[in-house]
Amino acid sequence: MAKIVVIGAGFAGHTTALYLGSKLGRQHEVTVISNRDVFGYVPSWVWVGVGHMKPEKTIFKLKPIYDRKHIKFVHAAAKEIHPDAGDQYVLGEEVGTGKEVRLDYDYLVIAPGPLLNFAGTPGLGPEGGFTHSICSLPHAVKTRDAYLALCERMKKGEKVKIVIGTGHPAATCQGAAFEYIVNVHKDLVKKGLRDKADILWLSNEPAVGDFGVNGVQIKRNGHVMRSDEFIRSVFNDHGIRYQVQTGVTKVEEGKIHWQNYEGEEGTTDFDFSMLIPQFKGQPFKYIGRDGSDISSKLVNPAGFVLVDGKYGLPYPDLAQTPEAWPAHYNNPTYPNVFAAGIGFAPPGPISKPFTNKNNLLIAPAPPRTGMVSGVIGRVVAMNIADLIETGKMTHSERMTEMVAACIASMGDNLWDGNAVTIVMRPVVPDRKKYQNEYGRDLFVSHLEMGLSGAWMKFMLHYTFIWKFKGLFGWKLIPE
């Protein structure tokens, strides 16, 4: 009987666990260790952050699902990983009791989600800083409370400055911040307060609409349309100012410090700000059999797990090398250690990085959205099942092959809501397969705004919660 341990129960970890439970749960031991005992449907936290959805509608308890799927659940925070052959185990600390937990494994999946590195930008974040975040449910709730308090000030006639975007020169997840800014706009319009707010998009992207994936390009009426034109139209239409090519370096009360591509240093005042922090890997200790630190064999300096990608290529070479992106997501030194979701180390950025004259690298990190994380989770689970059953992996999917769909809602009303629907294939451009300057399938890639997107967003919320609860037909719903 094989023992499989999955660290984390987010989009990647939970998907891995569901597939493993379904394929192997009855004959083998599948264990999930997570410091949270609930699954959180992250895409809807945008609505929590503007007070349009109750937090409890975005979460559900994991244990009852795992009991049904023959998966063992350990509510503990993983601390140490001991990957050397012969004595492979994870050490954790049980939530509530602090008791040490030891989980032996034959296969390990590291999918704990990101460490929100607020410390990377002095003054950033809701805990001890001056800005807000929607990257966790408690943060989204805190953001909602601050936003609603701001609305009360506006109702009294006060004019305010709102800044939304990225809070670090190497931050990712611009899509979530974009969704939040347009939801704030729409909510203020509905409340009759829009004229009281000056809203600014502040981001590290090379261009508006880049989203850390080098933008999205589509073919419409015979010509290629780019997401920068499209998103600029959205911002202009909504009266949202924008400033890109900017890395936030420090935040003080009511003041954001930044540097741009030209190396200029400046400040932006704010009354309310939601800035996405830099993401890092979770700070697990990787310990060898002799007690030594073997982190360098398993993770990069940012704490992301090294997998079967080609690392170290300069950006121009990486952009022309689709096979540099990992296919199986297992570590070359410890092939039975897999990483899924945000936990794996990408071989480099997707968008063109830029270093300004002050030597500040302004480069959006590659986003690993829910769909990407889910697909990787499934690939990892199916390959572990393959290895146990046949000894050979048969599944692979690089980000240069993956399709991603993203619905950025702009108001949640089913009658007059709106959303931008983005479909891209592949997520990471493959200039060998798609012989155009963008490296994308311009027939499949899609960019559209309209009420139908708002319906899609609602449908996805309920469909995916159904899927993640492992209810009837869950496997038919794509990741």
Partner 1 sequence: MNTQEEFSKSEKFWMNNKLYQLWRFIVLNIKIYTVAVQSKWK
Choose the binding region for partner 1 from 190-198, 285-293, 345-353, 421-429 (rule: CB under 8 A).
421-429
- Give the separation between CA 342 and CA 345, rounded to whole angstroms: 8
Establish if 332 lies at the interface with partner 1 (CB under 8 A): no
- Binding residue for partner 1 (CB under 8 A) from 104, 264, 416, 437? 416
Cβ atoms of 442 and 431 closer than 8 Å: no
Establish if 224 lies at the interface with partner 1 (CB under 8 A): no
Taking phi first (over 0 means left), then psi (-120 to 50 degrees means alpha), and beta for anything else, what does residue 365 get?
beta
- Binding residue for partner 1 (CB under 8 A) from 243, 300, 321, 356? 243
Establish if 219 lies at the interface with partner 1 (CB under 8 A): no
Token look-up 């399709």 returns: 403
- Binding residue for partner 1 (CB under 8 A) from 104, 158, 237, 317? 237
- Give the separation between CA 156 and CA 469, rounded to whole angstroms: 44
Site track for partner 1 across 383-402, x = CB under 8 A: ------------xxx---xx
Which H, E and C letters describe 20-31, residue by residue?
A: HHHHHCCCCEEE
Establish if 181 lies at the interface with partner 1 (CB under 8 A): no
- Binding residue for partner 1 (CB under 8 A) from 12, 78, 116, 371? 371
**C-beta closer to partner 1: residue 455 or 466:** 455
**Which distant-in-sequence residues (6+ apart) come within 8 Å of 377 by Cβ?**
11, 12, 13, 14, 15, 16, 19, 111, 340, 341, 479
CA 272 from chain centre, in angstroms, equals 23
**Which distant-in-sequence residues (6+ apart) come within 8 Å of 296 by Cβ?**
none
What distances in angstroms separate CA 338 from CA 15, 53, 184, 365, one per listed residue? 14, 35, 38, 21
Work out whether strand 241-243 and strand 197-202 pair parallel, antiparallel, or are unpaired.
parallel
- Binding residue for partner 1 (CB under 8 A) from 232, 250, 310, 431? 232
Tokens of 47: 């609505």
- Binding residue for partner 1 (CB under 8 A) from 95, 313, 423, 465? 423
User: What would the DSSP string read from start to end of 192-212?
Assistant: T-GGGEEEEEE---SSTT-TT
DSSP category for residue 256? E
**C-beta closer to partner 1: residue 140 or 407:** 407
Tokens of 230: 């499209």
Closest approach of Cβ 141 to partner 1, in Å?
A: 30
Nearest Cα neighbor of 68 from 477, 472, 476, 479 is 472
Establish if 418 lies at the interface with partner 1 (CB under 8 A): yes
Choose the binding region for partner 1 from 191-199, 251-259, 263-271, 371-379 (rule: CB under 8 A).
371-379
What distances in angstroms separate CA 142 from CA 51, 95, 131, 135, one per listed residue? 10, 23, 11, 11
Establish if 448 lies at the interface with partner 1 (CB under 8 A): yes
Phi, psi of 100 (to 5 degrees): -75, 135
Establish if 235 lies at the interface with partner 1 (CB under 8 A): yes
Closest approach of Cβ 465 to partner 1, in Å?
A: 17
Question: CB burial class (10 A; 0-12, 13-18, 19+) of residue 301?
Answer: exposed
Establish if 194 lies at the interface with partner 1 (CB under 8 A): no
**C-beta closer to partner 1: residue 91 or 408:** 408
Cβ atoms of 299 and 331 closer than 8 Å: no
Closest approach of Cβ 456 to partner 1, in Å?
A: 6
**C-beta closer to partner 1: residue 99 or 241:** 241
Establish if 278 lies at the interface with partner 1 (CB under 8 A): no
Choose the binding region for partner 1 from 85-93, 384-392, 431-439, 449-457 (rule: CB under 8 A).
449-457
- Binding residue for partner 1 (CB under 8 A) from 117, 421, 430, 461? 421
| Helix ranges, 287-369 (H) | 295-298, 315-318
- Binding residue for partner 1 (CB under 8 A) from 403, 413, 431, 442? 403
Tokens of 42: 């992250």
- Binding residue for partner 1 (CB under 8 A) from 97, 236, 292, 296? 236
Choose the binding region for partner 1 from 95-103, 134-142, 191-199, 448-456 (rule: CB under 8 A).
448-456
| Three-state secondary structure call for residue 49 | helix
The total number of residues written for the chain in this structure:
479
Choose the binding region for partner 1 from 89-97, 144-152, 185-193, 239-247 (rule: CB under 8 A).
239-247
Establish if 451 lies at the interface with partner 1 (CB under 8 A): yes
Establish if 455 lies at the interface with partner 1 (CB under 8 A): yes
Counting residues that bind partner 1 (by CB under 8 A) gives 39
**C-beta closer to partner 1: residue 99 or 475:** 475
Closest approach of Cβ 422 to partner 1, in Å?
A: 10
Establish if 241 lies at the interface with partner 1 (CB under 8 A): yes
Closest approach of Cβ 444 to partner 1, in Å?
A: 5
Provide the binding-site residues for partner 1, judged by CB under 8 A: 229, 232-237, 241-243, 371, 375, 378-379, 395-397, 401-403, 405, 416, 418, 421, 423, 425, 444, 446, 448-453, 455-456, 459, 478-479
